[in-house]
């Protein structure tokens, strides 16, 4: 499975480089931050997450970009007590570094739709990482600032880490 994911990421990266060779009039580096709420399998272990986004996109046409995406995802582990405060529990933080291909479509100047597809490397102990998928929708606040909402999912061996996130992305 990991080889198939890696092959898909390499194919998307190759398409990005081909697009760059044909048309270099619009390429951009993007960096941003996001905050999110874990949902699904890990929502009982974490209630809040923060992250960093890094990406580089190349123009394929007026309405279509391909690129590379990475960053950092950190979900904070929960701690609490039960049974009248006599039993305590604490879950470890969860961290990932995604490595992905990116696709963006621009139906209008203000809005963009896209997805990042690849592999998220697990950073903390006993975290193997997994297949990474992040569909998103963005709204241009200004010429170089985007507000975006995304759904992040990382799946491995039947379990999945998922998060609904809201972020700001800056174009450089």
Number of structural domains (the chain) is 1
CB 120 within 8 A of CB 130: yes
Show Cβ contacts of residue 83 under 8 Å, excluding neighbours closer than 6 positions. none
The pLDDT tens digits of the residues spanning 110-168 come to 999 999 999 999 999 889 999 999 999 999 998 899 999 999 999 988 889 999 999 99
CA distance 51 to 116: 15
| Tokens 């931050």 belong to residue | 33
For residue range 40-96, list pLDDT tens digits in order.
888 888 989 999 999 999 999 989 999 999 999 999 998 776 666 667 678 889 999
Q: Phi then psi for 40, rounded to 5 degrees?
A: 80, -145
| CATH number, domain with residue 54 | 2.40.160.20
Q: Is residue 109 pLDDT above 50, yes or no?
A: yes
| Tokens coding 121 | 């490397």
Strands 111-122, 64-77: pairing is unpaired
- Report the distance separating Cα 100 and Cα 71, nearest Å: 10
CA distance 150 to 24: 28
Express each pLDDT in 3-18 by its tens digit.
555 555 555 555 544 4
Confidence at residue 89, expressed as pLDDT on a 0 to 100 scale: 73
pTM of model > 0.95: no
């Amino acid at each position: 499975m990991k080889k198939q994911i890696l092959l898909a990421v390499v194919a998307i990266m190759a398409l990005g480089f081909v697009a760059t060779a044909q048309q270099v009039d619009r390429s951009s580096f993007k960096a941003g931050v996001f905050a999110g709420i874990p949902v699904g399998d890990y929502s009982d272990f974490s209630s809040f997450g923060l992250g960093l986004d890094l990406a580089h996109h190349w123009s394929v046409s007026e309405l279509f970009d391909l690129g590379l995406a990475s960053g950092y995802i950190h979900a904070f582990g929960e701690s609490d007590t039960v049974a009248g405060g006599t039993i305590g529990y604490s879950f470890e933080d969860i961290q990932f570094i995604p490595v992905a291909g990116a696709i963006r479509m621009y139906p209008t100047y203000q809005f963009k739709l896209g997805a990042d597809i690849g592999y998220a490397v697990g950073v903390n102990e006993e975290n193997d990482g997994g297949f990474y998928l992040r569909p998103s929708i963005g709204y241009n606040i200004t010429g170089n600032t985007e507000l975006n909402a995304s759904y992040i999912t990382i799946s491995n061996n039947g379990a999945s880490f998922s998060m609904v996130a809201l972020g700001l992305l800056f174009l450089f």
